Structure 1
Amino acid sequence: MKIRIGTAGWAIPAEVRGRFPVTGGGLERYAARLGAVEINTTFYRRHRPTTFARWAAATPRDFRFSVKAPREITHLRKLENCDDLLAELASDLESLGDRLGPILVQTPPSLLFNDARTAVFLDAFRARFETPVVIEPRHPSWFTEAADKLLADHGAARVAADPEPAPGAGLPGGDGCVYFRLHGSPAMYRSAHGRDRLEIIRDMVLAWGTRDRDLWVIFDNTALGEAVGDALALAQMTDGA
């Protein structure tokens, strides 16, 4: 079982800067203490393959990047007719090499689950990628046995989100990997989780551990810089797990 703990982006706040090496670039210093990171900027724009190659070169061999799918896929085309965009993304991400982890597909809160549309999208994804795909839906229609079975049948995981946008969203679903995405509570994107909550998160994460799939825990409470401190604390709590 491998637990990959990181944050959305690799900015290191001043409050925890002393816990990282003092030399090297920002990503290099971040990767010396945490084993994963989620690239969110790909949601907004394409990056050159040389950029991904430079990022890969700045990290240890066991480091992994998850990558957020472009908003044109999720919010504009709403998972439909995305073959060309998936081809572009796959081509761009080749430069990450073996550092590439899951692709995060966060759908808009208004997007209802549709079995045919989802199946076609996941088939198109699998034709381009060998890496796991993780869906983060936010409409209640996605959190049913039927939706979960379709995701599992297509080898797709569903994010465990905190706070949960709908009943059932706080637990992982689907198949392929386990991916916790923690946005901060009570103030989303802003609040630190605190020791007691992190202990609950640790126990929940470990309960989902298996030997045949990675566990991902990404802290997205980055607005006030709380994510890195939470990630470091959880990494210490799970050391040796």
Structure 2
Amino acid sequence: MQDSLFGDDLPLPAAAAPAAARPVPAEAAAPAQADAPASARRASRPKNAPKVEPAAVDDALRAQAARLPPGLRLGTSSWHFPGWAGLVWNGDYDGTVLSRHGLAAYAQHPLLRTVSLDRNFYRALTASQFAAYAAQVPEDFRFVVKAPSVVSDALVRAEDGRGQRPNPAFLNPQLAVQDFVQPALDGLGHRVGALVFQLSPLPAALLARMPEVLARLDAMLGALPALRATAPDGVIAVEVRNPEFLTPEFARVLKAHGATYCLGLHPRLPAIEDQLPLLRALWPGPLVCRWNLNRLHGAYGYEEAKGLYEPFDRLVDPDPHTRQVLARVIAGTTQAGQAAYVTINNKAEGSAPRSVQALVDAVLAPPPAS
């Protein structure tokens, strides 16, 4: 199965020409939540908080969920979308209410066993804030968390996303531990799934010095604490926005520290099948995938996709090819006993919950007749 999926006949792609840096995607971070007290570990939601009712679930959906590989966790990027009424919520709720109080209802959906905390990219969460999230979900729920931009972005950016100057803290080992990995472990505990360093597009000056960038990445990964004692299912993953990273040297750095490559489905990168050789170089290992943006919209297409897809209640631009290849990768990974974390953005096809459902259908579909 693995040889056919990540075949040795697929070489790692050659480094591509440098690409221009993109502005920070115009995806608003979830509204800020007050720092939660220690009692958040014992209470699923604050006293007198609005209750968000989960959508009704029928027996057929529960039966589908029961058939999925136990190591597979599917989810979305955040959960604060009123347009998911009838899909995830039973009723109409304001986005602010959903941001603060919707996670517990989200986590009751049988297909949604993880979620990406993208908010952490914009402002690092504290351990108690992570703990407040953890208290709202079941024991077997796992979180995918993006590293703060202060560590993962090579540039300090203005509010409009334009790079202003080099970031001296880029891939800083101490900050990576202090502001990301340790707070996540302390707050989420065994509910840590994948901790993802999504490296924003590099400026041309750094792209010309890739050995230096990889040396920095090597030093940072080497400084991270082991996850297993606190989070047995935890994975460190690195996602990139420059195809110049997709090389054997990058794979060797990741493998040396037990980290994995986050399969980033984004127009800045090659298509999914052209990224599989890097996963093959890291085999055996878990799958971490973040399906971010439909390739139709290009590298800077977040705003375009948002305008076309809101309120995110239906599939507008289905991408069955990507879905089928991803289903194959999931099957090969989980059949080998490895974990798989897959999160999907509304901008991938138009509605993240419907994309999850379509991916489940592909995963559970009988194999084609030979």
2:324 is matched with 199
On the 8 A contact 1:20/1:29 being kept in 2, the answer is yes
Equivalent-residue separation in structure 2 for 1:84 and 1:144 (angstroms): 26
2:76 is matched with 7
2:123 is matched with 45
Equivalent-residue separation in structure 1 for 2:136 and 2:352 (angstroms): 21
The offset of 1:42, in angstroms, is: 0.7
On the 8 A contact 2:319/2:349 being kept in 1, the answer is no
Cα distance per residue 1:133-169 (max 9 Å; x no partner): 1101222331112221221121111121223534476
Which of the residues 123, 131, 151 maps onto 1:73? 151
Residue range with higher mean Cα deviation, 38-47 or 24-33: 24-33
1:108 paired with 2:108, answer no
Residue range with higher mean Cα deviation, 204-213 or 50-59: 204-213
Equivalent-residue separation in structure 2 for 1:12 and 1:239 (angstroms): 27
On the 8 A contact 1:178/1:213 being kept in 2, the answer is yes
Which of the residues 286, 295, 318 maps onto 1:177? 286
On the 8 A contact 1:162/1:184 being kept in 2, the answer is yes
Residue range with higher mean Cα deviation, 57-66 or 3-12: 3-12
Which of the residues 86, 89, 96 maps onto 2:180? 89
Give the alignment of 1:1-241 within 5 angstroms: 2-14=71-83, 16-20=84-88, 22=90, 25-33=101-109, 34-75=112-153, 76=167, 77-79=169-171, 81-93=172-184, 94-110=186-202, 112=207, 113-114=210-211, 115-125=214-224, 127=225, 129-130=227-228, 131-163=234-266, 165-167=268-270, 170-171=275-276, 173=279, 174=282, 176-185=285-294, 186-187=296-297, 188-189=301-302, 190=305, 192=315, 194=318, 196-197=320-321, 198-222=323-347, 226-238=351-363
Structure 1 or 2: more strand by fraction: 1
Cα distance per residue 1:185-217 (max 9 Å; x no partner): 212543655263433432343234344421111
If the length of structure 2 is used for normalisation, what is the TM-score? 0.57
Cα distance per residue 1:17-62 (max 9 Å; x no partner): 2133539941111111100001011111122322221211111111
Letter in 2 for 1:99: R
Equivalent-residue separation in structure 2 for 1:90 and 1:217 (angstroms): 20
* Matched position secondary structure for 2:194: strand
**Cα distance change, pair 223–235 in 1 and its aligned pair in 2 (3 A):** closer
* Matched position secondary structure for 1:194: coil
> What is the number of equivalent residue pairs in this alignment?
238
Equivalent-residue separation in structure 1 for 2:324 and 2:131 (angstroms): 36
Letter in 2 for 1:71: S
Equivalent-residue separation in structure 1 for 2:267 and 2:334 (angstroms): 20
Equivalent-residue separation in structure 1 for 2:336 and 2:82 (angstroms): 34
* Matched position secondary structure for 2:189: helix
Residue range with higher mean Cα deviation, 228-237 or 31-40: 228-237
**Cα distance change, pair 166–95 in 1 and its aligned pair in 2 (3 A):** closer
On the 8 A contact 1:162/1:181 being kept in 2, the answer is yes
On the 8 A contact 2:328/2:363 being kept in 1, the answer is no
Cα distance per residue 1:113-152 (max 9 Å; x no partner): 4332221111012x36443211012223311122212211
On the 8 A contact 1:178/1:215 being kept in 2, the answer is yes
